[in-house]
Amino acid sequence: MPYQRVVLYLLLVTAALAVLAPILIMASTSLKPMAEIRDGNLFALPQAPTLEAWSTAWHGRGGSGGLADKFLNSFFIVIPALVLSVGLGAITGYALSLWRLRHANLLFAALLIGLFIPPQVTLYPMILLVRELGLFGTVPGLVLVHVVWGLAFVTLLFRNFFQSVPADLVKAARIDGAGFLATFWYVMLPLSLPVFAVAVILQFTYTWNDFLLGLTFSSRDSQPVTVALNNLVASQFGEQEYNVNMAATMLVALPTVLVYLFSGRLFVRGIAAGAVKG
Amino acid sequence: MQGVSLEAVRKVYGGTAVIDDLDLEVEHGEFLVLLGPSGCGKSTLLNMIAGLEPLSGGRIRIGGRDVSDLDPDARDIAMVFQSYALYPTMTVRRNIGFGLKMRGTPRAEVERKVAEVADLLRIGHLLDRRPSELSGGQQQRVAIGRALVRQPRVFLFDEPLSNLDAKLRADMRVELKRLHERLGRTMIYVTHDQIEAMTMATRIVVMDRGRIQQCDRPEAVYDRPANRFVASFVGAPTMNFLDGRLVPADGGVGLACGGMVIPLPGLEPPADGSQGRPVTLGFRPEHVRVAEDGGPGAFAARAVMAEPTGPDLYVLLATEAGEVTARMAPDRRIRRDAPLPVRLDGGRVSLFDPADGRRLA
């Protein structure tokens, strides 16, 4: 094997280990009973693997403190927020780039500003707004907040993609008798599937992993899983149950990993399409 | 009025008029070519007829109906784009049938009409492919098919052949002309290629800077250009221009220019053609005749360079009046710097006003 190859593999293996090692340690710890964790060393493999910690993380102890119903909360927040922000963002991006709207550039600039202001800055006015709408502490309130935050980014993504679509295509569709929505549905939507994959993955990850908005806008009943995880890990009496913490963390991370795995190919194609055409 | 009629049509972008009070009557069944350099407003004009570009003023009528405020799909037109603008994610079949589908045509009828058009354009075997799997010429046919299938009153073409290679372009020219004869529909065709204009048009509209410079049959545009712009834009190699004054010569008139007089036998001088009037003389390379034995109207020239094109030989001549291109038979031997006296066919030349470029005679 030529030495360049050796160097290359060495680098790749090192990088992979650096990423995988913590995950392996987490998985291994989550399968150990507490006694083994107390005595043994962190890197040792479990002697008597058990799923008890996973069960505790999911169901809680004595019927409370589990992540199960918070998972549902998260899905009820993420899925509507995802559908609405990607759907609306796609249409907005299409309108901004392919239809000659009055002040389109001004609107676009406003959206960009929305993208660059960190959420912390507008947190307080946002709280007031959601409270006035009577949605504070509810799942619909969280959906609204996430849609508003996601829209600017998704719109930017789609606008940049549609900007690369030849304007003649829209003209041809108009002559064929397709209006605003028909052109979007029949011509533009099929064209933008890779960008859709990117938008879905990024929005899903972002909304699912969100902690700040979930913490601020939720109540006990509408808590997303990230907030619940924090409570589980941070506020325990007595001994830290490392195995339960690790199992809970991995459970919370699982959905985003699955989304990447299932749409990873489309995702890469979407990024590549953006790179070539943008 | 069955054709297309434009009345005082204007288009203003940010204070500048790109089309200024333009009037044009297109007869039903005509193949009208809008010819001009890029930026002359011809594509804008076509887009305005299509309804893709709103009017800043004036009215447009198609088949006697005022369509100025109608959407493109209500104007009974179809358009073929330079980029073809085929829908990339649809098969050829769906591309062609899309306009019918949008109008709610029953599926069986769409199928039948698509098959008919595909047959006519010989693309039946391509119906289930996507545009990316087709060659440029095939894509062009699909784009034409998409326009044909709706049987519109007027076809609009926006430089449809510019993206094809030379051989294919020549084939498609013939095919489009044949299609026009067969369908008998009005076609309005935008191009900057004067060969396309000359070969296909029943009438040519030469445009420059948002105005019609001349609107006439191709032969008339070529033989009797209305002004110097038209004269220089139409014809390749381009027309020769010499500035000088009209003087009497050999019993007729001649052009005094650069210390010599070029006789123009057979030229009817302009009505206001007072002697000594400054004019620009224009003549095409084929109107220069070799006059080796001298004789009436001959003047001195010598060959500077020869450009054989196959059927013709273009020779650059140096005269006392300036350099002149002449067309000669391809078998003529040209010796560089050898004297080669020539004469002009005075009946075929044009005279322009040097100040405003309009045709004098």
Do the chains contact at B85 and A169, CB–CB below 8 Å? Answer: yes
Residue B186 in contact with residue B3, Cβ under 8 Å?
yes
pLDDT over 90 for what percent of chain A? 46
One domain for residues B140 and B178: yes
Are B209 and B167 within one domain? yes
**B51, B77, B85 member nearest A172 (Cβ):** B85
What Cα–Cα distance (Å) separates residue A253 from each residue in A23, A73, A204, B114?
11, 15, 12, 52
State the average pLDDT over residues A250-269. Answer: 82
In this structure, of A105-109, A269-273, B251-255, the range with the lowest mean pLDDT score is A269-273
Asked whether B40 and B210 are in contact (CB, 8 A), the reply is yes
Rounded Cα gap, residues B41 and B62, in angstroms: 20
Residues B94 and B119 in one domain: yes
Chain A stretch 174-203, residues whose beta carbon is closer than 8 A to a beta carbon of chain B: 174-178, 182, 186-187, 190-191
* Domain end position, chosen among B233, B262, B290: B233
Answer yes or no: is pLDDT of A278 > 50: no
- Considering the domain boundaries, does residue B359 fall inside one? no
Question: Among A176, A181, A185, which would you mutate to test the B interface (most chain B Cβ atoms within 10 Å of its Cβ)?
Answer: A176
The answer to the question of residue B361 being in a domain is no
* Per-residue model confidence (pLDDT) at position A44: 83
Q: How far, in Å, CA of B290 to CA of B344, rounded? A: 9
Residue in chain A nearest B49 by alpha carbon = A175
Task: Using an 8 Å CB-CB cutoff, list chain B residues near A175.
Answer: 50, 52, 72-73, 77-79, 99
Whether B220 and B259 share a structural domain: no
Indicate the pairing of strand B278-283 with strand B186-191.
unpaired
Question: Under 8 Å CB-to-CB from B15, ≥6 apart: which residues?
Answer: none
Tally of domains within chain B = 2
Query: Do residues B131 and B84 lie in contact, with contact meaning Cβ atoms separated by under 8 Å?
Result: yes
CA of A234 vs chain B CAs: smallest distance (Å): 52
Q: Write down which residue in B191, B218, B233 finishes a domain.
A: B233
Q: Which residues, other chains included, contact A193 with Cβ-Cβ below 8 Å and sequence gap of 6+?
A: A266
Nearest-angstrom CA–CA distance, B303 and B324: 10
CA–CA gap between residue B223 and residue A218 (Å, rounded) = 83
The residue in chain B having the minimum alpha-carbon distance to the alpha carbon of residue A168 is B85
pLDDT (0 to 100) of residue B108: 96
Whether B103 and chain A come into contact, CB under 8 Å, resolves to yes
pLDDT above 60 for A17: yes
B128 & B31 share domain: yes
B255 and B111 in one domain?
A: no
Sign, CA torsion B283/B287/B292/B297: negative
The pLDDT value recorded for residue B204 is 97
- In a mutational test of the B interface, the residue from A164, A175, A183, A187 whose CB has the highest number of chain B CBs within 10 Å is A175
pLDDT at B218: 96
The per-residue pLDDT for A194 is: 83
- Measured CA to CA, the distance from residue B188 to residue B43 in angstroms comes to 11
Q: What is the mean pLDDT of residues A220-236?
A: 84
Q: Give the model's confidence band at A103: pLDDT under 50 very low, under 70 low, under 90 confident, else very high.
A: confident
Angle at B87 between CA A271 and CA A191, to 5 degrees: 25
Residues A184, A266: Cα–Cα separation, whole Å: 20
Which residues fall within 8 angstroms of residue B80, CB to CB, at 6 or more apart?
B143, B144, B146, B147, B155, B156, B157, B158, B160
- The pLDDT confidence band at residue A271, using thresholds 50, 70 and 90, is low
Residue intervals of chain A classified under CATH 1.10.3720.10 are: 68-277
Confidence of residue A275 (pLDDT cuts 50, 70, 90): very low
- Rounded CA-CA distance B256/B252 in Å is 13
**Interface predicted TM-score (ipTM) of this complex, two decimals:** 0.85
CATH number at residue B294: 2.40.50.140
Q: Do B15 and B106 belong together in one domain?
A: yes
| Domain A68-277 CATH assignment equals 2.60.120.260 | no
- Report the 10 Å Cβ neighbour count for B258: 14
pLDDT at residue B272, rounded to an integer:
67
Q: Which of A215, A202, A200 is nearest to A73 (CA)?
A: A215
Q: What residue of A is the nearest CA neighbor of B78?
A: A175
CATH of residue B38's domain is: 3.40.50.300
User: For residue B82, is it within any domain?
Assistant: yes
Q: Is the omega angle on the peptide bond into residue A119 within 30 degrees of 0, that is, cis?
A: no
Domain that holds residue B17: 4-233
Q: Which of B50, B85, B102 sits opposite A178 (nearest CB)?
A: B102
Per-residue pLDDT of chain B (361 residues; tens, 9 = 90+): 678 999 999 999 988 899 999 999 999 999 999 999 998 999 999 999 999 999 999 999 999 999 999 999 999 999 999 999 999 999 999 999 999 999 999 999 999 999 999 999 999 999 999 999 999 999 999 999 999 999 999 999 999 998 889 899 999 999 999 999 999 999 999 999 999 999 999 999 999 999 999 999 999 999 999 999 999 999 989 999 999 998 888 778 889 888 888 988 888 877 766 678 899 999 999 999 998 887 788 889 999 999 999 999 999 999 998 999 999 999 888 888 989 999 998 889 999 999 999 998 8
Residue from the list A168, A186, A190 with its beta carbon closest to the beta carbon of B85 = A168
Residues B90 and B222 in one domain: yes
Structure token digits, residue A46: 């479990």
- B192 and B258 assigned to the same domain: no
Residue A273 pLDDT > 60: no
Using one digit for the tens of pLDDT, what is the confidence trace for A128-184?
A: 999 999 999 899 999 999 998 899 899 999 999 999 999 899 999 999 999 999 999
CB contact, 8 Å: B151 with chain A?
no
